[in-house]
């Protein structure tokens, strides 16, 4: 049953992704931000329901209100994509590894909605991508979305936090909003293409103020938040 549900969720996603990609492209990018703020929420919840995943969300009030914020979420499963989408962050500006630019249909949505691919293997290009994100946030408040570990965990354990999210918080003068995902890795671990029906919880934590951070203190800030995540995931 899990395999059938997963196939149905995938086909549903292909239809939705194709439709919104065409709509964004036909608008010449004018509808990119409004579209990115509207359809991911209901797509994420519908996709989870089709896959048989019961998701419980809490702390959504921490994602509301004006201004730029940096949303970070631990990443253990492909399920994290619809789970974070279901949070309906305002004006999302999502960062993904460059390798995903070859993933069919998904890449069309990414490009048509003005989202960002990051080349993690090329420091200069990665820095240019982050500078582009900062410039966009200066022009219009956005919710920057990325994994603090930089990639998906392969063993289900929390990885070491990179400094990218923390540098973005300082550069944009915005808080970091931690999102704690529990249970996704058990339902759809890396290497498994189908989802087991089950329950996942997604908890949005209070924003973390970045105003006192400097380049020299970023490692300490990242280590502190990583410790918080380990405590939250064990609780």
In sequence order, the β-bridge partners of residue 85 are: none
Pick 102 or 186 by higher pLDDT. Answer: 186
Mean pLDDT of 174-198: 95
Nearest in space to 165 (alpha carbons), one of 113, 100, 118:
118
Mean pLDDT of 63-91: 95
How many domains does one find in the chain? 1
Distance of alpha carbon 181 from alpha carbon 166, whole angstroms: 20
Mean pLDDT of 43-67: 96
Query: What is the band of 178 on the pLDDT scale with cuts at 50, 70, 90?
Result: very high
Q: What is the pLDDT of residue 81?
A: 94
Q: What is the pLDDT of residue 166?
A: 97
Burial class of residue 65 in the structure, from the number of CB atoms within 10 Å of its CB (0-12 exposed, 13-18 middle, 19+ buried)? exposed
CATH of the domain at 117: 3.40.1130.10
For 204, the domain range is 2-234
Query: What is the band of 32 on the pLDDT scale with cuts at 50, 70, 90?
Result: confident
Task: Kindly report the number of other CB atoms within 10 A of residue 36's CB atom.
Answer: 25
Q: What is the pLDDT of residue 31?
A: 84
Q: What is the pLDDT of residue 156?
A: 86
Is residue 68 left, alpha or beta, with left meaning phi > 0 and alpha meaning psi from -120 to 50? Answer: beta
Distance of alpha carbon 168 from alpha carbon 130, whole angstroms: 7
């Amino acid at each position: 049953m899990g395999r059938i549900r997963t196939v149905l969720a995938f086909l549903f996603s292909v239809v939705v992704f194709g439709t919104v990609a065409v709509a964004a492209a036909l608008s010449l990018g004018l509808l990119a931000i409004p579209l990115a703020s509207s359809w991911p929420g209901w797509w994420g919840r519908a996709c989870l329901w089709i896959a048989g995943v019961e998701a419980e969300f809490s702390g959504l009030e921490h994602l509301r209100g004006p201004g730029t914020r940096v949303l970070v979420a631990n990443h253990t499963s492909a399920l994290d994509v619809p789970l974070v989408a279901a949070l309906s962050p305002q004006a999302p500006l999502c960062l993904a590894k460059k390798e995903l630019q070859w993933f069919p249909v998904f890449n069309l949505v990414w490009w048509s909605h003005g989202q960002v691919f990051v080349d993690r293997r090329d420091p200069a290009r990665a820095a240019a991508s982050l500078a582009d994100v900062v410039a966009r946030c200066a022009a219009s408040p956005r919710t920057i979305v990325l994994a603090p570990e930089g990639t998906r965990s392969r063993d289900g354990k929390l990885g070491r936090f990179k400094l990218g999210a923390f540098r973005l918080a300082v550069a944009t003068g915005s808080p970091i909003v931690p999102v704690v995902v529990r249970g996704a890795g058990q339902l759809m671990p890396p290497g498994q293409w189908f989802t087991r029906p089950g329950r996942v919880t997604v908890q949005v934590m209070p924003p973390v103020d970045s105003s006192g951070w400097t380049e020299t203190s970023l490692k300490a800030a990242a280590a502190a938040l990583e410790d918080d995540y380990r405590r939250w995931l064990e609780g």
